[in-house]
Amino acid sequence: MSTVVGEMDHHDHHHHAPSGITRWLFTTNHKDIGSLYLWFSFIMFLVGGSMAMVIRAELFQPGLQLVEPHFFNQMTTVHGLIMVFGAVMPAFTGLANWMVPLMIGAPDMALPRMNNWSFWILPFAFAILLASLFMEGGGPAFGWTFYAPLSTTYSGDSTALFVFSVHIMGISSIMGAINVIVTIMNMRAPGMTYMKMPLFVWTWFITAFLLIAVMPVLAGAVTMVLTDKYFGTSFFDAAGGGDPVMFQHIFWFFGHPEVYIMILPSFGIVSAIIPAFSRKPLFGYASMVYATAAIAGLSFLVWAHHMFTTGMPVFAELFFMYCTMLISVPTGVKVFNWVATMWRGSISFETPMLFALAFVILFTIGGFSGLMLAITPVDFQYHDTYFVVAHFHYVLVSGAIFSIMAAAYYWLPKWTGHMYDENLGRWHFWCSLISVNVLFFPMHFVGLAGMPRRIPDYALQFADINQIVSIGGFAFGLSQLIFLWLVIKCVRGGEKAPAKPWEGAEGLEWTVDSPAPYHTFETPPQVK
Amino acid sequence: MRTRLITALVAGLPLAASAQSQFNLTQGVTDISNRVYDLHMTIFYICCIIGVIVFGAMFWSMFRHRKSKGRKPATFHENVKVEIAWTIVPFLILVGMAIPATSTLIAMEDVSESEVTVLVTGSQWKWHYRYFDHEVEYFSLLATPRDQITNRLDKGENYLLEVDRPLVIPTGKKVRFLITSDDVIHSWWVPAFAVKKDANPGFINEAWTRVDEPGIYRGQCAELCGKDHGYMPVVVIAKEPAEYEAWITEQETIQREAKEEEQRLLSMSMSMEELMELGERVYLGSCAACHQPNGQGIPGVFPSLVGTEMVKNDIPGHIDIVVNGKNGTAMQAFANQLSLREIAAVVTYERNAWGNDTGDIVQAADVNEYVNQ
Angstrom distances, CA of residue A123 to CA of A82, A87, A172, B341: 12, 12, 10, 55
Domain with CATH 1.10.287.90 in chain B: 2-108
Q: Given a cut of 60, is residue B13 above it in pLDDT?
A: no
pLDDT over 70, % of chain A: 97
Q: Given a cut of 60, is residue A13 above it in pLDDT?
A: no
Is A34 domain-assigned? yes
Domain covering B116-261: architecture: Sandwich (2.60)
Q: Given a cut of 60, is residue B367 above it in pLDDT?
A: yes
A360-417 pLDDT per residue, tens: 999 999 999 999 999 999 999 999 999 999 999 999 999 999 999 999 999 999 999 9
Which residues of A are known catalytic residues?
Answer: 79, 108, 144, 172-173, 256, 258, 260, 271, 305-306, 331, 334, 453
CA atoms A29, A264, A52, A134: torsion sign: positive
User: For residue A341, what pLDDT is reported?
Assistant: 95
- Counted domains in chain A: 1
Query: In chain B, which residue's Cα lies nearest the Cα of A312?
Result: B205
* Domain B2-108 belongs in CATH node 3.30.470.10: no
- Host domain of residue A330: 26-511
A448-469 pLDDT per residue, tens: 999 999 999 999 999 999 999 9
Q: Given a cut of 60, is residue A5 above it in pLDDT?
A: no
Is A14 domain-assigned? no
Report chain B residues whose CB lies below 8 A from the CB of A150: 184-185, 224-226
User: For residue A19, what pLDDT is reported?
Assistant: 80
User: For residue A330, what pLDDT is reported?
Assistant: 95
Mutate to test the interface with B, among A448, A464, A466, A479 (most CBs of B within 10 A): A448
What is the complex's ipTM, to 2 decimals? 0.91
Q: Is B148 in Cβ contact with A244 (below 8 Å)?
A: no
B340-363 pLDDT per residue, tens: 888 989 999 999 989 888 888 888
User: For residue B301, what pLDDT is reported?
Assistant: 80
Residue A376 · residue A308 · CB < 8 Å: yes
A490-505 pLDDT per residue, tens: 999 999 999 999 999 9
Report chain B residues whose CB lies below 8 A from the CB of A458: 160, 230
Mutate to test the interface with A, among B144, B158, B198 (most CBs of A within 10 A): B198
pLDDT over 90, % of chain A: 93
User: For residue B259, what pLDDT is reported?
Assistant: 83
Mean pLDDT of B52-73: 92
Mean pLDDT of A37-64: 96
Report chain A residues whose CB lies below 8 A from the CB of B35: 377
pLDDT over 70, % of chain B: 94
Q: Given a cut of 90, is residue A168 above it in pLDDT?
A: yes
Q: Is A357 in Cβ contact with B66 (below 8 Å)?
A: no
A249-264 pLDDT per residue, tens: 999 999 999 999 999 9
CB–CB contacts below 8 A, A to B:
309
- B102, B202, B224: residue with CB nearest A239: B202
Is A136 domain-assigned? yes
Report chain B residues whose CB lies below 8 A from the CB of A464: 22
B99-123 pLDDT per residue, tens: 999 999 999 999 888 999 999 999 9
* Domain B269-371 belongs in CATH node 3.40.50.150: no
**CATH code for position A465:** 1.20.210.10
Mean pLDDT of A134-151: 93
Is A16 domain-assigned? no
User: For residue B3, what pLDDT is reported?
Assistant: 45
pLDDT band at B373 (very low <50, low <70, confident <90, very high): low
Query: In chain B, which residue's Cα lies nearest the Cα of A372?
Result: B43
Report chain B residues whose CB lies below 8 A from the CB of A345: 61, 65, 71, 73-74
A478-493 pLDDT per residue, tens: 999 999 999 999 999 9
Q: Given a cut of 60, is residue B88 above it in pLDDT?
A: yes
Q: Does residue A110 sit in helix, strand or coil? A: coil
Q: How many residues does chain A have?
A: 528
Is A368 domain-assigned? yes
Residue B41 · residue B17 · CB < 8 Å: yes
Mutate to test the interface with B, among A375, A431, A437, A443 (most CBs of B within 10 A): A375
pLDDT band at B332 (very low <50, low <70, confident <90, very high): confident
What is the CA A128 to chain-centroid distance, rounded? 21
Query: In chain B, which residue's Cα lies nearest the Cα of A152?
Result: B328
Q: Is A358 in Cβ contact with B227 (below 8 Å)?
A: no
Q: Is A136 in Cβ contact with B219 (below 8 Å)?
A: no
A438-449 pLDDT per residue, tens: 999 999 999 999
Cβ atoms within 10 Å, residue A335: 23
DSSP state of A497: P
Q: Is B68 in Cβ contact with A318 (below 8 Å)?
A: no
Query: In chain B, which residue's Cα lies nearest the Cα of A142?
Result: B226
A67-84 pLDDT per residue, tens: 999 999 999 999 999 999
